[in-house]
Chain A
Amino acid sequence: MRIINVIVKVLTFPAAFLKGFWEQRICRMMGIPVESNKIFGSGEMAGHIEHELFLSPSKSFNFCFFSGLMVFLAGVIMALPGFICVYMGSAGFMKWIAFASFVNAAMMFTNIFPSIGDAIEMWESYKKMNKAAKILLAPIAAIMYVGAYMETWGITLLTNYGLVVLLLLI
């Protein structure tokens, strides 16, 4: 599992670095001590930064959500030209633009989830939230929690690139 995660991160290194960047940036903004600014650590921490435990549920949730959201937004912007090309059914040169667009976007979408450690902490924090917040944030928390495992096992990489192939073959 650990080696798979490293392979996934190596294959999608620009997005892995971007995710690490946002994790560190958000830690700084929330005043969370970062133990090491090394992004490409080994094992499960590859593509993530090591930081101190969050003491409040909201900080834990915000860290996982916003660091992923920033990378997700970058992915959406990168996927835009590809979607327009697919919508138009472009061929030739435009198809290559769609290809580049989707490959970059898939890279981003493969790195939107937190590390397993952060996901577990977020899930525990989520359980402590009040009822209204729990109902409101349930889908996002569940997606992030499950996504963290999927990302570590390389499933997100496979599904994202599978989707790219499918979109380009239509």
Chain B
Amino acid sequence: MDENKEKELLGEETAEALTEQEKEEVGEILENLENQEETQVTTDWDGLAQIGDDSVNIEEDEAEEETEKETEIAEDMLCEKCGKRERYTELDEDYPYCKACREKMKKTRMNGWGVFFFVSVLLGCIGYLLYSIAFLSIAAPVIKGDKYMAEGKYNSAITCYQETIGTISQLNQSAGGVELFDAGDRTYAKIIKAYFCAGTPTYAQDYFSALESTGAMDKEGYKETKEYYEIYDKMMDTYSNLQTVYVSKLNSLYSAEKKADISAVREELGELEGLKANKDNDRYMVAYFQYLFCSVTENSTDDAIKYLEEIKSGGRTYEFIYAIELCNLYLEKGEYDKADAICYKSLEESPESIGVYQYLMMSKRRQGDYDAALKLGEEAAKIAETIYVPEGSSAMPYGVPMEESIVFALMGEEKKAIAAIDASNQLGNDNANLNLAILFHYLYHVKGTEPVEDDKGTTVYDNVDKVYDEGLATIQNLGAYYGLKISDNVKAIMDGKKTLEDVFVTGEVNWQ
């Protein structure tokens, strides 16, 4: 602040000449001036200069002030706010306030309610932001899932949606079972669509139930989901009705000591054909029952292929009931191109269907092209790396390394065959890979060895191979429950009655 100018303005004589009110005003303005920038200070001095004609003593304004002293300020020229000083007309001749009041107005106190609502809204915004961040962390997998869906990666998308549904369920459980959070009808609709696109609509059952409970499917935005539901409902109704009628007949055919000829079920096949005309029935599910009759009878391969091809025409929705069976039948017939075509179509529609690589490898293996089979295994491994799965899981289906183990065994690569079948069993078990684990561990490790004993002579293992022992134990303990058994073909190879080629190249597709 310009101290000299201040002293000049507030010299003792002039200060005494001011009235109390004028002193107050000068004080206020000086206080304001202290907080202002240099450029504004000039203006404020001008403002000060207007307070009391004889209170200011600035040489350059002397002449002007002399004139003011002489002439009274006209009433219409008085400041509308203070009513004392002349209006500031430099910028606008109609301006109603004096320069001093104008300066004061620049510092008008903030409106109290305005400040109150500013603070309230600020706190509200912080709350909303925190809530959004928390909720976004739950919703993030859904966003990721949508991205996968757009890329046609349906399996990854399903994993993402399930993550959110799982997290919400955990949160509600930790809140004492109160439904505070909700994965959202749209999330359920998305996972339903993903299951349909992946060709596994039956897995969508729980999510249809969730949507039914909220009544979401009647809303405008869920038309597609409702269409899926109608397909699913018709499919399940048809299955349930047909099962009631034909399950006992199918069971008796399945458990018969000698397989019946296809001619024994022609009547049922005809009945079922008639049901296809009924619009209430899902014709592809009816065709599936016709296939089931073929699958439990002899000389039925061509009929079975006919019915499965019919289901195939129903589209990807029915892939879960036709693809594997049709592949197996074509492989059995040696029509490898047709089997391959089914697999490649599935991969084209859903690039993450790496399960089909098992059948592609099987096709190459049966054609004796082992290198091509192994190359397909490598391709499957590459795809598996790009599939999004929960932490600690693997996207690789156990069928692929199982196929690799067979190919390695056929190529005489014993160590690789054992490593591959062990990897397969670590991913999951079924009758086939358990049988192969037992077979390869027996052939390459156990055969010709004695049981292992500890220092005291107690038998630790029946033989030198723990995997072999555990495989046998699993089949013995769980066989009855899970339908596991040592395959006759495996026994034959172990006994030296059959070679690996007899079983895995020229033998039946379903060797187990």
Number of residues on chain A facing chain B (CB within 8 A): 45
Nearest B-chain residue to A107, judged by Cβ: B121
**Residues of B contacting A40 in the complex (Cβ-Cβ under 8 angstroms):** 113
A-B pairs with lowest CB-CB distance, top 8: A88-B184, A89-B186, A21-B114, A33-B105, A89-B185, A17-B117, A80-B132, A89-B184
List the B side residues contacting A36 at CB < 8 Å.
108
B179 within 8 A of A: yes
Query: Is A37 in contact with B184, judged by CB distance below 8 angstroms?
Result: no
A contact residues around B121 at 8 Å (CB) = 14-15, 18, 74, 108
Known contacts A14-B120, A88-B142, A91-B184; is A20 also within 8 Å of B221 by CB? Answer: no
Distance in angstroms between the alpha carbons of A11 and B183 in the assembled complex: 33
A residues near B (Cβ < 8 Å) are 14-15, 17-18, 20-22, 24-25, 28, 31-40, 49, 52-53, 55, 74, 77-78, 80-81, 84-85, 87-94, 97, 101, 104, 108, 169-170
Report yes or no: A74 in contact with B117, Cβ–Cβ below 8 A: no
**B187 touching A89, Cβ below 8 Å:** yes
- CB-CB under 8 A from B135, the residues of chain A are 81, 84-85
Pick the residue among B124, B179, B219 that contacts A78 (CB under 8 A). Answer: B124
13 pairs, CB–CB < 8 Å, chain A vs chain B: A14-B121, A18-B114, A21-B111, A24-B111, A31-B40, A33-B102, A34-B106, A37-B108, A77-B132, A88-B139, A90-B184, A93-B180, A170-B219
Pick from B107, B125, B164, B180: contact of A28, CB below 8 A. Answer: B107
From A15, A32, A77, A92, contact of B179 by CB (8 A):
A92
- The answer to whether B393 has its CB under 8 Å from any CB of chain A is no
Q: Find chain B residues with CB under 8 A from A94 CB.
A: 181-182, 184
A55 to B118, CA, bound (A): 28
Contact A88:B186 (CB < 8 A) given known A93-B180, A170-B219, A170-B221? yes
B129 in the interface (beta carbon within 8 A): yes
Q: Are A25 and B110 touching (Cβ within 8 A)? A: yes
Tell whether, in the assembled complex, residue B115 and residue A28 are in contact, meaning their CB atoms are under 8 Å apart.
no
A97 partner residues in chain B, CB cutoff 8 A: 131
Tell me whether B116 is interfacial, beta carbon within 8 Å. yes
Q: A14-B120, A31-B40, A34-B105 are in contact. Are A81 and B128 (CB under 8 A)?
A: yes
CA gap between A6 and B211 in the complex, in Å: 44
Chain B residues with Cβ below 8 Å from A104 are 124, 128
Say whether, besides A81-B131, A87-B139, A24 and B125 are in contact (CB < 8 Å).
Answer: no
Q: In the complex, what distance in Å separates the CA atom of A55 from the CA atom of B108?
A: 19
- Minimum distance in angstroms from A48 CB to a CB of chain B: 11
Shortest Cβ distance from A38 into B: residue: B111
CA A89 – CA B225 in complex, angstroms? 13
